[in-house]
Structure 1
Amino acid sequence: MSEAAASPAFRRTEPDVRRLSLIEACARVLARNGAAGASVRAIAQEAGASVGLVGHYFGGVDALVAATYEHVDRRVAEALDLAVAEAGPAPQDRLEAFVMASFAPPIADTALLATWIAFWSLVTARKDIARQHDEQYALYRARLEALLGDCGVPVSARRRHAIAVTALVDGLWLELCLSPGCFTAGEARDIARGFLASITSSGR
């Protein structure tokens, strides 16, 4: 294929590449500077782009931050889905893989934690971020409920157990990223594995 023939296809994909570069730059700025430091100028500079490009693709910094929140959450969800897919068909293995993935890269990452903290800081200040937060955690818990159901946990107990597992994972993940010297990823997995065994074996 000639260069001239390939050029139009390249130009069609270029806007998506530029949009993604702004989102990734926004995530880095949020991790480094927090939500208060995520200005249009700072993000554009990080991306090596013009300030006007942010307005062109997102209309402003608020929409860019929201798009970045969605993008980061999707990356986490993809990592969880991959872990479950690689675990095989056994329900208990799939449940464990879903939970244990939070204690290994790319989820157990200090930069990801810093970005996530910036998002959390906006939950009480912005209704759109609060809505995203609620939707994302609802999807996470729904996935957990389905995996717990596959392990024989009755319907009446799934929601309660999903909330408990989510709280356990969040707490261990936070401490593992913030203070990795306090305990190891292996210890986090052992703690989570023991809790999963207790709720799937009792069925209550």
Structure 2
Amino acid sequence: MPPARQAFRRESADARRADLIEATATCLAEQGLAGTNVRAICARAGVSPGLLRHYFAGIDDLVAATYQATSDRMDAIFAAAVERAGTDPRARLSAYLTASFRAPVTDPDLLGAWTAFWALARSDARMAAIHAGSYAGYRARLAELLTACGADDAGRLAILLTAMVDGLWLELSLDATSFGADAAAGMIESALTALLPPPPGRRQPKQGGY
């Protein structure tokens, strides 16, 4: 029986931590940094304020854990999109990039939380480290997909395309009617066509109309 009780306690602790992380993300999305405090988070999670320190060293620790959890969630979404695309390298690359233009990545609540994380990353070393790790991981996976498509300078292209995706994602998240997910995906496809070598057996279109 003791092992079962220990497993139950472990599962309960993990669930409580997850509840607090989810509540923090919701508070950041709805109320911003100014409205995100221990009382608001615990009220959202349905626990007493004193319980937070049982699972986290303090609110800064909780916010950092929330940023890491959100980054991990995005990584899982992008990885799943790639797997659904099958084995064709170009389709996998497109799926990875254009997943940012579909739900749940374009959820306005996610934008609210993400902008709070970005703001904190400018002044908090731990948040800055999470930010750097998250973006480095995204670009590294993107570079691998670009290399599989024959890109010569995959690292440089990964930086360029990451910036392009971020800009389009931000516009879509702020205003879903601005140009739409399909248009954003089309812009990425046009960029890939211009930046990548043609697939074997396909010639590049001639320039200048002749």
How many Å separate the matches in 1 of 2:6 and 2:62?
27
Deviations 1:117-149 (A, max 9, x none): 110111112111111111110111001110000
CA RMSD of aligned residues (A): 1.9
2:178 to 179, 182, 188: 182
Give identity over the alignment, percent. Answer: 46
Alpha-carbon offset, residue 89 of structure 1: 0.6
Residue aligned with 1:201, SS: coil
The answer to whether residue 154 in structure 2 is matched with residue 158 in structure 1 is yes
Instruction: Find the counterpart in structure 1 of residue 187 from structure 2.
Output: 191
Deviations 1:161-201 (A, max 9, x none): 10110011000000001011210110000001111121112
How many Å separate the matches in 2 of 1:197 and 1:54?
50
How many Å separate the matches in 2 of 1:38 and 1:70?
17
Instruction: Find the counterpart in structure 2 of residue 168 from structure 1.
Output: 164
Instruction: Find the counterpart in structure 1 of residue 202 from structure 2.
Output: none
What code does the residue aligned with 2:190 have? G
Misfit runs of 4+, over 4 Å? 5-9
The answer to whether residue 38 in structure 2 is matched with residue 45 in structure 1 is no
How many Å separate the matches in 1 of 2:44 and 2:82?
34
Alpha-carbon offset, residue 202 of structure 1: 6.5
Counterpart mapping for 1:133-144 below 5 A: 133-144=131-142
Q: Rg: which structure is higher?
A: 2
Checking the alignment, whether the CA contact within 8 Å between 1:21 and 1:47 is kept in structure 2 is yes
How many Å separate the matches in 2 of 1:73 and 1:96?
20
User: Aligned pairs, how many?
Assistant: 199
What code does the residue aligned with 2:90 have? Q
How many Å separate the matches in 2 of 1:150 and 1:9?
43
Checking the alignment, whether the CA contact within 8 Å between 1:35 and 1:119 is kept in structure 2 is no
Alpha-carbon offset, residue 153 of structure 1: 0.7
Instruction: Find the counterpart in structure 2 of residue 58 from structure 1.
Output: 56
Instruction: Find the counterpart in structure 2 of residue 111 from structure 1.
Output: 109
Deviations 1:69-98 (A, max 9, x none): 000011110000000011011100100000
Instruction: Find the counterpart in structure 1 of residue 91 from structure 2.
Output: 93
Checking the alignment, whether the CA contact within 8 Å between 1:24 and 1:68 is kept in structure 2 is yes
Instruction: Find the counterpart in structure 1 of residue 8 from structure 2.
Output: 10
- Structure showing the higher helix proportion among its residues: 1
Residue aligned with 2:34, SS: helix
Indicate the larger mover: 164-173 or 49-58: 49-58
**Unaligned ranges ≥5, structure 1:** none
Deviations 1:39-67 (A, max 9, x none): 11111111011111111111100000000
Alpha-carbon offset, residue 9 of structure 1: 4.2
What is the TM-score when the length of structure 2 is the normalising length? 0.90
Residue aligned with 2:197, SS: helix
What code does the residue aligned with 1:52 have? G
What code does the residue aligned with 1:125 have? S
Instruction: Find the counterpart in structure 1 of residue 27 from structure 2.
Output: 29
